Structure 1
């Protein structure tokens, strides 16, 4: 079973820049809309595949309050408040943070290396 290709990375700086560029190309009739959609689908697939292997940064956090949480379609969403964030080098605090966590494995892959 193939892993789902979550679209949440489209809201990153890279994803937004790609989408804006593709929108400009479509608007200038340099590429058809169907190609733009295929490119964004390829972006989703590629970034979901590469990030688990290349992203090594870890951040620890402690929140004073869990404001809300939700689990839908294998996606957890948490809204937390008064958060202390720490990584290997520095730390800081924020008033409110939204955390979106997607299932990285399909049911057939759970428990298998």
Structure 2
């Protein structure tokens, strides 16, 4: 939801056109996976309280309450976060292999949806970093 809200705000401000926002939403997962696999060199760790977990159709879902994310230069806390992990061997309904370039952890390849984290960035006064992040996603989406 935070991505859609941010894109709506950028359309309202005239920074992007609606067609670009649609393309970003369509290509977000692929662009994020590629960027994480190829460009991110920094490390992050987190801890929190595991509230809920489930395995359904080979997809793990974890709800972590009160997580704290530690980056090299910063620590960010939020109310809760959802982690969705799927084996890199698992295929999407349309037959594509999901996240086959992100690594081989215990759960296979994982993608972390940090909507609450993005909200913390916005509320924490880091709009410049978030704008830079979405501009990078725009370039990745246009390149694909």
Q: TM-score, normalised by structure 1?
A: 0.48
Radius of gyration: which is bigger? Answer: 1
